Amino acid sequence: MLEILIQLALTFVMIVLYAVVFCLVYARVMGGMFNRAKFDPSRETNNDVRFKDVLGIDEAKREAQEVVDFLKNAQTFERIGAKIPKGILLVGPPGTGKTLLAKAIANEAGVPFYSLSGADFVEVFVGVGASRIRSLYKKARKHPAAIVFIDEIDALGRSRSSNQFGGQEGNNTLNQFLVELDGFGRDSNVITIGATNYEESLDTALLRPGRFDRKIHVGLPDLKGREALLAHYSRKVQLDRSVDLRALARAATNMSGADLASVVNEASILAVRERRSQVRHEDFSKAMERLGIGLENASHPLNPHERRVVAYHEAGHAVVSLRTQPHKRLHKASIIPTGRHALGYTWSVEREDRHLITREEYCSELAVLMGGRVAEEMVFGEVTSGAHSDLKRATKIAELLVWELGMLGGSPINYKELTCSEATRERLDLAVEQVLREAYEQAREVLIERREDLERLAQGLLDHEVLYEPDIHAVLRGTKPKRNASDGDRNEWVA
């Protein structure tokens, strides 16, 4: 009898514990849901960004100025029958200043600025996302004019055919957003600004006329813009007389404003680490290399055979680059491993800003990528895993040439946009393979022709580990570099 009572008591205790746990979990979930439903968007009150603070994207600023004019002089536009655009889409790579530009538009126009992320509206609870949209626009419409800024709008406006997160709830949220954009005849001067890095992922309904009427491309800064950005971010930094911002800007092709801010900060950290009161030119150069390539890791040296293999591998890249890429400068070659799992690297930079790439230039890039593997095979009679990343990049370029750009492989067609038959896919894959084989042969021909340059450069790397542009040319002329890498930093950019 006692055993039965104990059994019943234990069962009762377990039931009570399960009930308590269930109630706690339920209360937490419902409390979280309640808190989410209490979404209370508030305007930014500390926005002091002006157009003068937005650097490196002058064309985008000119287009943005029109938006300011719309908001400041709405009646002037309406008097002649012009309608203020309801939506503006800022499109461009990460770190180019899209958020900063949106803030500047609001501040210059003197209107309230509501800033949120597309992820703020992505919820799994039914109705929460749509409710947040309604709450946001209800607040914005209380003002004579206002700007609603949604960063990473692709999280909210992703194509419904590919929207796997949230399912129907995600579609409902997007539908409510479209309703608010349309306005249903409400007389409102609320402009919605969306920012995205992935325009192609947006639902087509968002992009139709009457919703996002304006599209402003916020691209990477040009030479003048990069120099202005470097000067702006360096204005509070103690600079050594050696710093040449123009030369650094020339070297920083394809860097965004955010990248340049990181470069300046990293250069300052390097100066502090070495207990110097001023930042030198070489600090900026090292910071650029760290951002682009990674930190050199000399604490894990290669064995003698590996050093030779890596030296010839990098020399192969360098010699082919010098022979086939007149539009680039060979800035540096190194056989010191980096933090990105590279045992060595060769770094070339564009001589000037360029926006178009020819078929010949793509092919020369492929040959350069193959140069390391070809050099290994020529000198050692075998290849190593050192060419893994080279082959990966080369394959991507070859696929781009054949599948998307129509530059090689026969037909000027973007096959990526089509549903291809198995036979067509096989033909295109064979074309990609042929492109890579031809690049391999081009690299081989260059290295056979320039075998002496290959030997000199490989020996130079074995002797000095790091060679900069002046050193590379000195070695190829048969003379010694002015100093070893260990004697001082040769990390100087040539303008």
Structure-token pair, residue 439: 């690049």
Residue 389: how many CB atoms within 10 A of its CB?
15
Q: Which of 314, 376, 399, 469 is catalytic?
A: 314
Whether 227 is catalytic: no
Query: For residue range 46-64, what is the model confidence (pLDDT) as tens digits?
Result: 778 899 999 999 999 999 9
How many residues belong to the chain? 495
Question: 473 vs 235, 316, 457, 477, CA distance in Å?
Answer: 36, 15, 9, 6
Range with lowest mean pLDDT among 163-177, 225-239, 332-346, 358-372: 163-177
CA distance 173 to 177: 6
pLDDT for residue 67 is more than 50? yes
Confidence band of 187 (pLDDT split at 50, 70, 90): low
Whether residue 109 contacts residue 73, with contact meaning beta carbons closer than 8 Å, is answered with: no
Using alpha carbons, select from 114, 61, 63, 86 the residue that is nearest to residue 206. Answer: 86
- The H or E element spanning position 291 is helix 281-292
Q: Which domains does the chain have, with CATH numbers?
A: 51-217 (3.40.50.300), 223-292 (1.10.8.60), 304-487 (1.20.58.760)
pLDDT for residue 236 is more than 60? yes
CA distance 253 to 249: 7
Structure-token pair, residue 89: 């889409």
Structure-token pair, residue 397: 């370029």
Query: For residue range 384-433, what is the model confidence (pLDDT) as tens digits?
Result: 998 999 999 999 999 999 999 989 877 788 888 788 888 888 999 999 99
Is the Cα dihedral 316, 322, 325, 328 positive or negative?
positive
The pLDDT of residue 460 is 94
Confidence band of 32 (pLDDT split at 50, 70, 90): very low
Entry pTM: 0.76
Instruction: Say which DSSP state 187 is in.
Output: -
CA distance 437 to 100: 46
pLDDT for residue 161 is more than 80? no
Angle at 433 between CA 431 and CA 438, to 5 degrees: 95
